[in-house]
């Protein structure tokens, strides 16, 4: 039984061939992912690592701290470290 029949899809002429190609491409891609997931390089400790830095506040002497202050100073309206924007969602009453 065809996938289109199982999904109860009504396809026009030519759509079936296009669907077959797309499903085939998806399955090929899933196969590539499975091959990568089972590769030795993936299971070694050197391949699995956290690339994000620890979340810590910037200190006053940090180069990025100055940029942060410049960005905050450029905001048209702010409260402390937050940009104030107009309300765009309204509750119907």
**Residue percentage of the chain with pLDDT more than 70:** 76
DSSP state of 76: S
Question: How far apart are alpha carbons 26 and 20 in whole angstroms?
Answer: 10
User: What pLDDT is recorded for position 9?
Assistant: 78
When pLDDT is averaged across residues 42-46 and rounded to a whole number, the result is: 54
* Sequence-distant (≥ 6) Cβ neighbours of residue 72 within 8 angstroms: 78, 81
User: What does residue 55 show for φ and ψ, rounded to 5 degrees?
Assistant: -80, 105
Three-class DSSP category at 83: strand
* pTM higher than 0.85: no
Reported confidence tier of residue 36, pLDDT bands at 50, 70, 90: confident
The residue to which tokens 């942060």 are assigned: 68
Q: What pLDDT was estimated at residue 45? A: 54
pLDDT > 90: what percent of the chain? 8
């Amino acid at each position: 039984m065809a996938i289109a029949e199982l999904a109860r899809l009504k396809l026009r002429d030519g759509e079936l061939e296009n669907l077959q190609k797309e499903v085939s491409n998806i399955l090929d891609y899933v196969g590539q992912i499975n091959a990568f997931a089972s590769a030795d390089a993936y299971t070694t400790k050197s391949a699995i690592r956290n690339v994000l830095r620890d979340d810590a506040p910037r200190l006053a002497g940090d180069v990025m701290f100055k940029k942060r202050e410049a960005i905050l100073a450029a905001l048209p309206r702010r409260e402390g470290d937050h940009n104030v924007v107009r309300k765009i969602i309204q509750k119907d009453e």
